[in-house]
Structure 1
Amino acid sequence: MTSDNHSRHRELQQDARAWADFTGTSYTAALRQVKSPLAQGLLGDRVSARHLIATLDEHELIGARGGAPRLGENGTFSTIPWRFNGRSDLIELALITDMLRMFAPIPDSATPEVSSYSLKHTAEEFLSPHCSYVSNGRMIWAAAALGLPIVDLEGSELNVLIGVLEREHDYVRRMVERGRIRPKAHHHRPAGYAYLRTALARAAAGEWITAGWTRRAPAAVSAPFHDWLIRQAGRDDVIGDLADDYTAGVRDSDHRVARTPDEMLGIFYEVSHSPEAYDAVVSAIAEWMMTVPTAKPVRTPRIGESVQDHSGWGAGAGTVERYEYRCPCGDGAIVEEHDNIPGFRDRDVSILCAKCSAEWRFAGGRSLSGWGLEPVSVTR
């Protein structure tokens, strides 16, 4: 046995003895839990039983510090003592800890917002069937052992607020709880969500996962139109109303972030909206383009294409290429045609939509294939 393996084996034995003494179970049963693949630490280091035990005494908020227990099965100041079954308690605490690791911690300057009671229910759904019940006390215990910020919840003697990002928790809760409307966009999905889902299944099948997960630093993504639009929230006009609705939709994962005007139109292709809301989008794009002179014209997605052979007009055969793009309002099309016929070569692009023809024009200074649109109200 190598030195590293011997050291790890001793740590497992020490954890098993400590857990057996703490829970009143046999050493063999405790060791079985310590060695379970589900307790190996799927999003971080293995959860130490000795550290969990020490947390109940030493933690600044929930620790007993040599006095009466501050935390019980139902939460802080709970009169319900811990109920240990001797088969899965440590495993379940390890799984709860991994679920909490999935979320990004809140910034140092922020105050925790997510209730331990709400998190407990999310954990039950997310970790099922590997962990069917999570008590409020165990959720608080795992959060404290992990070092997450914890504050007392005003007006509650059992629940606390835990420092995970509220938007990420809301995303997971809506993904896993039955009867909830699932998010339509995924910008609030926790970084470890997909990995932990897969790792849980692998560990449940008895697999030891040797390649650890590393939280990546969030990549800086330029979103100039989004940044501008959310700053318009609260304005007393149609653009302000649009910005209010858009900001709420991003917050609630009802649609994705519109980094550009093109993506804003893309959102409106996917969600139901009134004609007035679309008109507000056109007004917002026009104002954005006048505010940011370097803003690129709008380019809509391609929805069809065809290439047809043509016998020609006496100078040889050729082809006719036709490309269709969605028009800004979505009810018509922009058609780009290329006649590649010897002696009769022609190129054309046009808006085949009466509404968009009246509201949009092709931006100047661009090639036919590189066309882009801007609202007719834009003045350069």
Structure 2
Amino acid sequence: MTSNNHAQNRALQQDARKWAAFTGTKYTAALRQMSSPLAQGLLGDRVSARRLIATLADHELIGARGGDPALGENGFRSEASWRFNGETDFIDLALITDMLRMFTPSSATATPEVSSYSLKHTAEWFLTPRCSHVSNGQLIWAAAALGLRIAEPDGAGPNLLIGVSEREHDYVRRMVGPGHTRPRAGHYRPAGYADLQTALAQAATGKRITSRWVRPAPVDEVALFHSWLILQADRNDPVGDLANDYSAGVHGSEHRIAHTPDGLLAIFREVPHSPEAYDAVVSAIAEWTRTLPSPQPIRTERIGGDSHHHEGWDAGAGTVERYEYHCPCGDGGIIEEHDNVPGFRKHDVWIDCDRCRAEWRFVPGKSVRQWGLEPIPAGVTT
């Protein structure tokens, strides 16, 4: 036996003795829980029973600190006694802790926003069938032991506010909660969401998790167009209305973030919208391009096309290429053609949509293969 395995076994035994004494169960039953694959830490270090017990005693908000218990089964200042079944109570707390680990913790300066009561239901839905009942007290206990920020809301009650990302929690709640509309975009999906689902499935079969999940470092994405559009939400005009609707859609994960104007056009091809809303999109993109010294041309997604062999016209064989792209409004297309046949070489691209021909033009100076679009300035005819 290696010294590392010996240390791990000793830690499990010490935890089992403390948990057995704390819960009034047998040592062997406690050790069985400590040794369960589900309690080995699926998104981090193994949950320590001694840490959990110490949290109830010493935590600055929920700890008894020598007085009466501040946390009970039903929540903060609950008089309901803790219910320990001697079979899964510790495993349940370990699973709840891992569920909380997948969320991004709130910063030290941010006020916690997510209710423990709401989180406890989300934990039940996410962890079922391995842990189908989570009490309000268990959720608060696990959050405190994990070191998440915890605060009292205005008004007395058993629920506390937990310092995890409100938008990430909303995403998970809608993904797993019965009767909820599932998000259409994943920009608020917690970093550990898929990893925890995979680890839960593996641990449930008895497999131990050998690789440790590492929370990815925060990445400050440069999304200048998105940031600019959000700032237009206070305007009292069609672009302001568009920005309001766009902001609400991002917040509710109804659609993805538009990092560029191309992305905004793609969103509007995927969601229902009025003609007036599309007009506001064109106006917003035209206004955005005027703010930049060298705006990036619009390039829409390719939706079809191919290249085929051609026998030629007595001067040799060649190829003919034809590709189709979305037009900005989505009702027509942009056609790009290349006749690579000796004696009949031709390259062309055109907008096959009456509406878009009136609102967009090709950026001059670019080759047919590198085409790009820009809004036609007001008062300019083509």
TM-score by structure 2 length?
0.97
What secondary structure is seen at the aligned counterpart in 2 of 1:221? coil
Q: State how 1:197-276 maps to structure 2 within 5 Å.
A: 197-276=197-276
CA-based RMSD of the aligned residues comes to: 1.4
Q: Which residue of 1 aligns with 2:106?
A: 106
Give the distance between the partners of 2:209 and 2:42, measured in 1 at CA. 8
CA shift for structure 1 position 232: 0.9
Q: Which residue of 1 aligns with 2:54?
A: 54
CA shift for structure 1 position 378: 6.8
CA shift for structure 1 position 377: 1.6
CA shift for structure 1 position 346: 1.1
What secondary structure is seen at the aligned counterpart in 1 of 2:320? strand
Give the distance between the partners of 1:310 and 1:208, measured in 2 at CA. 59
1:6 aligned to 2:19?
no
Structure 1 unaligned blocks of 5 or more: none
Q: Which residue of 2 aligns with 1:86?
A: 86
CA shift for structure 1 position 379: 9.6
The one-letter code matched in structure 2 to 1:11 is A
Q: Which residue of 1 aligns with 2:128?
A: 128
What secondary structure is seen at the aligned counterpart in 1 of 2:174? helix
What secondary structure is seen at the aligned counterpart in 1 of 2:337? strand
1:369 aligned to 2:369?
yes
Give the distance between the partners of 2:243 and 2:329, measured in 1 at CA. 19
Contact 1:55–1:144 (8 Å) recurs in 2: yes
What secondary structure is seen at the aligned counterpart in 2 of 1:44? coil
The one-letter code matched in structure 1 to 2:39 is A
Give the distance between the partners of 1:157 and 1:316, measured in 2 at CA. 85
What secondary structure is seen at the aligned counterpart in 1 of 2:233? coil
Give the distance between the partners of 2:257 and 2:353, measured in 1 at CA. 27
CA displacement 1:127-158 (0-9 Å, x = unmatched)? 01110100000000000111100001222420
Q: State how 1:20-99 maps to structure 2 within 5 Å.
A: 20-99=20-99
Contact 1:289–1:378 (8 Å) recurs in 2: no
Give the distance between the partners of 1:262 and 1:74, measured in 2 at CA. 50
CA displacement 1:18-72 (0-9 Å, x = unmatched)? 1111111111111100110000011111111111011111000000111111100
Q: Percent identity between the aligned chains?
A: 68
Give the distance between the partners of 1:295 and 1:128, measured in 2 at CA. 50
What secondary structure is seen at the aligned counterpart in 2 of 1:231? helix
Which stretch shows the higher mean deviation, 212-221 or 282-291? 212-221
CA shift for structure 1 position 339: 1.3
Give the distance between the partners of 2:350 and 2:112, measured in 1 at CA. 54
The one-letter code matched in structure 1 to 2:118 is S
1:317 aligned to 2:317?
yes
Give the distance between the partners of 2:228 and 2:357, measured in 1 at CA. 27
Give the distance between the partners of 1:309 and 1:50, measured in 2 at CA. 73
Q: Which residue of 1 aligns with 2:158?
A: 158
CA shift for structure 1 position 170: 0.3
CA displacement 1:188-232 (0-9 Å, x = unmatched)? 000100000000010111111111111110223221211111111
Q: Which residue of 2 aligns with 1:284?
A: 284
How many residue pairs end up in the alignment? 380
Give the distance between the partners of 2:43 and 2:51, measured in 1 at CA. 17
Contact 1:290–1:379 (8 Å) recurs in 2: no
The one-letter code matched in structure 2 to 1:348 is D
Which stretch shows the higher mean deviation, 61-70 or 310-319? 310-319
Give the distance between the partners of 2:287 and 2:44, measured in 1 at CA. 48
What secondary structure is seen at the aligned counterpart in 2 of 1:232? helix
The one-letter code matched in structure 2 to 1:297 is P
TM-score by structure 1 length?
0.98
Give the distance between the partners of 2:167 and 2:305, measured in 1 at CA. 41
CA shift for structure 1 position 306: 2.8
Give the distance between the partners of 1:180 and 1:172, measured in 2 at CA. 10
CA shift for structure 1 position 308: 4.0
The one-letter code matched in structure 2 to 1:88 is T
What secondary structure is seen at the aligned counterpart in 2 of 1:322? strand
Give the distance between the partners of 1:341 and 1:320, measured in 2 at CA. 7
Q: State how 1:127-206 maps to structure 2 within 5 Å.
A: 127-206=127-206
Contact 1:171–1:189 (8 Å) recurs in 2: yes
Give the distance between the partners of 2:292 and 2:362, measured in 1 at CA. 18
The one-letter code matched in structure 1 to 2:350 is S
Runs (4+) off by over 3 Å:
308-314
Give the distance between the partners of 2:29 and 2:233, measured in 1 at CA. 58
